[in-house]
């Protein structure tokens, strides 16, 4: 009798956990911040790690020929670290692509490329702004204010830009053409390294890869991330690699 009651309680808890996980993902996706959801964080970490490994090699490259060379050279000149570029690229993709709602809608390739480059550009300009100690302290105060509430990204961006204008500092660093070169280089690198997106010459849109969409849907249906899965273990975590990137990296858990 007690065993049956325990099984029923665990089943109910799992259903409630799955509902919380879905609501969290849907709400985050609605405000274009799925990478910050509980499930989105898992995939953002894994895909960022794999992409970062490839970018570290590419950023050290001295090749004078190859696809996307202009975008690569611009990234090398920016001196942004591979992990920062990888994180912001994956974050931009996961926040823009329809990963939660299974639709055939994609994002225009040019728009997505420029969106990624603009995110990197903002990081670059903020770093330049914070080189001054007074400005750096100001940014810290703003960040604390932003963290207290979930302000819309565009509102945060506009607020910071107002301070740039007050200091008579340029908000832009690259031209539209340069942004396009950078964004397209990163899109192709993501496709070839992680397989997270579908991108072909025949289509002017970027789509999330079907295996990724299927895996996200499976996680949302099971709600496993909201249950106690990671128990004490002596087993080392499995590295994230292109071969196991959709579902295989990280710690072994009770569902495996």
Residue boundaries of the structural domains of the chain: 32-122+176-226
Q: How distant is the alpha carbon of residue 235 from its chain centre?
A: 27
pTM: predicted TM-score of the whole model, two decimal places: 0.77
Angle at 93 between CA 15 and CA 215, to 5 degrees: 35
* Secondary-structure class of domain 32-122+176-226 per CATH: mainly alpha
At residue 194, the pLDDT reads 93
At residue 125, the pLDDT reads 83
Query: What CA–CA distance (Å, rounded) separates 83 from 45?
Result: 11
The SS3 of residue 48 is helix
At residue 225, the pLDDT reads 54
At residue 227, the pLDDT reads 46
Strands (E), 90-234: 107-108, 197-198, 205-208
Query: What CA–CA distance (Å, rounded) separates 48 from 53?
Result: 9
Q: Cβ-count burial of 204 within 10 angstroms (0-12 exposed, 13-18 middle, 19+ buried)? A: exposed
What is the side-by-side strand order in the sheet with 107-108? 107-108, 205-208, 197-198
- Which structure tokens are listed for 158? 């506009």
Could you tell me which residues come within 8 angstroms of residue 159 by beta carbon, excluding any fewer than 6 positions away? 142
Would you write out the chain's pLDDT as a tens digit for each of its 256 residues?
Answer: 566 776 777 777 777 777 888 888 888 888 888 998 988 998 999 999 999 999 999 999 887 666 788 999 999 999 999 999 999 999 999 999 988 876 677 899 999 999 999 999 988 888 877 777 777 777 777 777 766 666 666 777 777 777 777 777 666 789 999 999 999 999 999 999 999 999 988 889 999 999 998 888 888 887 655 444 445 555 666 676 666 666 666 655 545 4
């Amino acid at each position: 009798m007690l065993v049956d009651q325990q099984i029923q309680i665990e089943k109910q808890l799992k259903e409630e956990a799955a509902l919380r996980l879905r609501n969290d993902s849907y709400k985050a996706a609605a405000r274009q911040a799925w990478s910050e959801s509980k499930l989105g964080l898992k995939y953002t970490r894994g895909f960022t790690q794999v992409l970062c490994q490839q970018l570290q090699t590419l950023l050290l490259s001295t090749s004078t020929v190859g696809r996307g060379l202009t975008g690569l050279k611009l990234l090398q000149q920016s001196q942004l670290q591979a992990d920062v570029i990888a994180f912001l690229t994956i974050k931009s993709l996961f926040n823009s692509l329809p990963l939660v709602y299974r639709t055939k809608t994609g994002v225009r390739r040019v728009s997505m490329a420029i969106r990624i480059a603009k995110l990197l550009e903002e990081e670059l300009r903020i770093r330049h702004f914070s080189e001054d100690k007074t400005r750096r302290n100001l940014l810290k105060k703003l960040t604390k204010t932003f963290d207290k509430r979930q302000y819309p990204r565009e509102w945060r961006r506009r607020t910071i830009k107002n301070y740039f204008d007050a200091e008579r500092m340029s908000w832009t660093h690259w031209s539209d053409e340069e942004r396009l070169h950078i964004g397209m280089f990163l899109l192709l690198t993501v496709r070839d390294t992680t397989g997270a997106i579908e991108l072909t010459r025949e289509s002017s849109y970027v789509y999330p890869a079907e295996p990724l969409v299927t895996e996200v849907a499976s996680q949302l249906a099971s709600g496993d991330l909201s249950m106690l899965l990671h128990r004490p273990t002596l087993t080392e975590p499995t590295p994230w690699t292109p071969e196991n990137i959709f579902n295989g990296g990280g710690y072994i858990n009770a569902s495996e």
